[in-house]
Structures are given as structure tokens and as C-alpha cells.
Structure 1
């Protein structure tokens, strides 16, 4: 009876298990909490690579070997186990300590100003009615559009939803940035990103609290350039939106 090459069997199965876990990680969308979506093609190639590697290892495993070494399996099983945590228990709790800092008041509105922010599609700029709605899908694109064409959009009514950030040395008084966490590549490079809100109210909103603002587009000098800002007319607590924005 031909002896089974248990080392090759273990290595081949480990590669395939890693590929399957990675595929679940991608299919569930959990990967978006750790890696920017534009890297999805590379993840797909990795899945194909691991499946092929596992299959070839099993095929070649029919050759007998006299010394069995199983340490190589740990190289594949360790990342598989690490990925299973976010897949099984929800990725947000594993994604960043910053997520835990963002606060959400019990009375916060799910539809501030009567707007279902993340239920809207499209660019969010209505030139006919001079209205801009910034949500997860268009936050980055609209911020850049306002920066490039400040004069065009001055006076537009803008609605934005995000968390309060004071991570800007040029802020004055109770001004703040209505921010979202921006991910360029992976979770290690997330940073608060958003528009400065010129707020003349007496209340200093708690940092990392989620709010929605209504205001008008204006501008201010910033390191020798003009930067778009929101002159706040109304502000209200809002429900936290999970996930990040991407360029």
C-alpha cells in the first residue's frame, strides 16, 4: 500500500484553507475595514495563487518522503486564523482604536435634516438648486471638487455628516472639521479628512462626536491658498456611520 505524504497533504490543505478564508473575507466586504477597495484585484490574484499552490502541492504530494516537516503549515495557518477573527466577530471591533473613540449620542438622528445620507446615490451636487450633499460615497470627490472650484460653489447650501475633529492648528474659537476617516491604502494610514466648519455658536462640540451640519460654502486662506469651508447655519447630533472613505 502506497504511503500517504502527510506533509504535502497538510501543506496543500493549509494553502486551500487560507484561500477560502481570504475569499470569505473579501465576499463579506470586511476587507474594506482594513484595505482600500482599489486593492481588491491584488487580493483576488492572491486567492487564485493560493488555490493553485495548494492544488499543485497536493498533486506533487503523491511522491513519497521520509522526513515529515509540518512547520511550513504555520506560515499559511497563522494568517488564516488572524483573518477568521474579523470574519466571525465583525471587522469593526478589530479595525482601529479610533473607531472606539467616535461617539454617538442616544438621541442622535438617523436622518438628520430629513436626509438619508448614505441612501443617496450620485455625485451629490445639484447645480440647479445649488445644493451639495456629502455622504460616504462622494465625500472625498466632493471635497476635491470644492477645493478646485471654490468660486463656482460659493453660496451653495451644503449638508455634511461626520465626526467632530479639532486636529487642525488653524482652527479658531469653536470651529471644527467635520471629518471622516480616509484610507488611502490600508488601516495603518487612516487619517481624519474633511471640511472646516466655521461655527459661531457658544457650544464646543465634543471631539469625535458624530454630527450633521447644514451651512453655506465659503472660503478662507490656508498656507497661501484658498480653502473651502462650511459656514454653519444648523448642527445636530447624528448616528455614526461605520467604515471609511476612500480616494
Structure 2
């Protein structure tokens, strides 16, 4: 007896083939990292192997005896996302998506706020002194923080070079205790985000941080101040070099005043956008 093609089983075979090819494509081209953290890629590879196994078993059902004459409408639920996957260019969170999402300078990484007060010395010099509640913890942290920055590849010839590889660690050290690094020269890259409420000439040099997947991507950045008239549009990628300082910042939501780091920009130049804009935490 001649075997007849089971159309439903054949369509399901084609759908599985499509998903298998798509998973292989984004893994082999490394575009999978636009959607998930590199540490999660192994699980996506497991999914690929699972689809290959399903495909092999489904191949045996192409000529199975028909149990239904009509085509299953439910296949559309799989065909639509599969078609979109091949037709649309794989992209994660873009620069402008991050800008629209927005963020607060004082909410990132749950960094402790630094309480402070101004003091006037005997010679009339005004300095920013941290209250005694924080002095002990700051003193004990100074050694470890300084060692931390010196031990990572951030410091080159006295300049703190913030790269994709050391961004998180360096950011935590600098943003957590900016007064430890006041006066240090910093070189870093990112895209310009002009948050509402900033002073004229100020912008946030930002990067996109991913902890697990594109769904939890969050923009993160350091405030910069540039006194020159030359300005760049929001979303422009630039390389910035400047001196680290401090300034008071009033949170627009809570109204809380905190001390945050600010890069007083000496040099800024436009650069090409990175192919992968993420920094993986």
C-alpha cells in the first residue's frame, strides 16, 4: 500500500525545521547575545539540541495515518513568530530604547547615598566633609576600594580607563565613593543621554547593562559636564576624557540631596556605535 503524505504532520515538521534553523543561525552568528547574557547561551544551545531531536522523531510521522482532515489552525501561532524571526533583523535594546526607558542617577545598582555637610576651615577654605556616621565606614573602605581599582585594568599611567570589561567594577567603586577619586583623570565611552533637570552643558554618559536577558536591560551612566559650546545630539556615541569631581544632585522623585560623581570633560569626540551595545553584569 502506497503511503500518503500527512499534511498536518508535514507542516509541523516544517515548523520544527524553521525553529531549528533559526536557533542555529542566531547561535552561530553570535546574535543570541543581543537577547540573552553570554552565560545563558548554553541553555539556548540545549534548546537547539532539543529541537533537533524533535525534528528527527517528527520526520517519522510525515506519512502517519491521518486522524484529521482539516488543517490545524493552531499552526498559525507558531508560523507568525517564526516568519517574523527570519524577516526582521535581530536587535536587542537600542540606544534610543534605553533613552526612552530612562533612569535615575541615584537609583542604579542600589549604591548607598553619601550624607555630607559643608565645613569652613580656620583659613576660610570651604570643604565638603562627610558626617561621622559614614567616616569610619569610608576610612575602612578606602584601602579596599583603592586596591580594587589598582588591581583591575582600569588604571593606566594614572588615568582611570573605563572599558567594557571593567565598567561594572569601576563604576561601583567610583560611584559608591566618588570623593576617593576626585581629581583623577577618566577616559570612557558611551552614548549621550540628556536627562531632564540637568544643568546646561551636562549630560549622562551611558551604557546598557544586561544581567540575564534583554528584558532586564537597564541604562547606567556617569554625569558629565562640558563647558564648551560644541554639543552632540542625544544618542550620539562619544569618547570622553576628563577629571572626576563631585556635585550635589537632587532626585526629582524623592527630593533627596546626594553627592554624585561628575566628569568635568576636557576632551570629547564622536565615535562609531558598538555592534553590541550591552555590558554584561
1:228 alignment partner in structure 2: 261
CA–CA distance in structure 1, aligned partners of residues 240 and 20 of structure 2: 44
- Change in Cα spacing, 1:96 to 1:225, as seen in structure 2 (3 Å) is closer
Contact 1:198 1:232 in 2 (8 A): yes
Q: Once the 2 structures are TM-superposed, how far is the Cα of residue 166 of structure 1 from its aligned partner?
A: 0.9
- Change in Cα spacing, 1:15 to 1:123, as seen in structure 2 (3 Å) is farther
Structure 1, unaligned stretches of length 5 or more?
Answer: 102-121
SS where residue 80 of structure 1 aligns?
Answer: helix
**Alignment partner of 1:59 is 2:60:** yes
| Matching residue within 223, 233, 248 for 1:196 | 223
Q: Once the 2 structures are TM-superposed, how far is the Cα of residue 232 of structure 1 from its aligned partner?
A: 1.3
1:119 alignment partner in structure 2: none
Larger Rg over CA atoms: 2
**Alignment partner of 1:125 is 2:127:** no
Contact 2:96 2:235 in 1 (8 A): no
TM normalised by structure 1 equals: 0.72
CA–CA distance in structure 1, aligned partners of residues 46 and 152 of structure 2: 31
Deviations 1:139-188 (A, max 9, x none): 3343223223434433322111222211253x212111112233445545
Contact 1:15 1:54 in 2 (8 A): yes
1:243 alignment partner in structure 2: 276
Q: Which has the higher contact order (CA 8 A, sep 6+)?
A: 1
**Alignment partner of 1:78 is 2:107:** no
| Matching residue within 140, 149, 157 for 2:168 | 140
Q: Once the 2 structures are TM-superposed, how far is the Cα of residue 11 of structure 1 from its aligned partner?
A: 1.0
SS where residue 91 of structure 1 aligns?
Answer: coil
2:24 alignment partner in structure 1: 23
Coordinate RMSD, CA, aligned? 3.1
TM normalised by structure 2 equals: 0.65
CA–CA distance in structure 1, aligned partners of residues 155 and 183 of structure 2: 13
Q: Once the 2 structures are TM-superposed, how far is the Cα of residue 190 of structure 1 from its aligned partner?
A: 4.4
Q: Once the 2 structures are TM-superposed, how far is the Cα of residue 62 of structure 1 from its aligned partner?
A: 5.1
Q: Once the 2 structures are TM-superposed, how far is the Cα of residue 189 of structure 1 from its aligned partner?
A: 5.0
Q: Once the 2 structures are TM-superposed, how far is the Cα of residue 215 of structure 1 from its aligned partner?
A: 0.8
CA–CA distance in structure 2, aligned partners of residues 153 and 173 of structure 1: 24
Contact 2:192 2:205 in 1 (8 A): yes
1:163 alignment partner in structure 2: 191
**Alignment: residue pair count:** 220
Contact 1:165 1:192 in 2 (8 A): no
Contact 2:225 2:264 in 1 (8 A): yes
Deviations 1:56-75 (A, max 9, x none): 33335554124243434433
- Change in Cα spacing, 1:167 to 1:182, as seen in structure 2 (3 Å) is farther
Structure 2, unaligned stretches of length 5 or more?
Answer: 100-150, 250-255
- Change in Cα spacing, 1:17 to 1:151, as seen in structure 2 (3 Å) is same
| Matching residue within 165, 181, 187 for 2:208 | 181
Q: Once the 2 structures are TM-superposed, how far is the Cα of residue 47 of structure 1 from its aligned partner?
A: 1.7
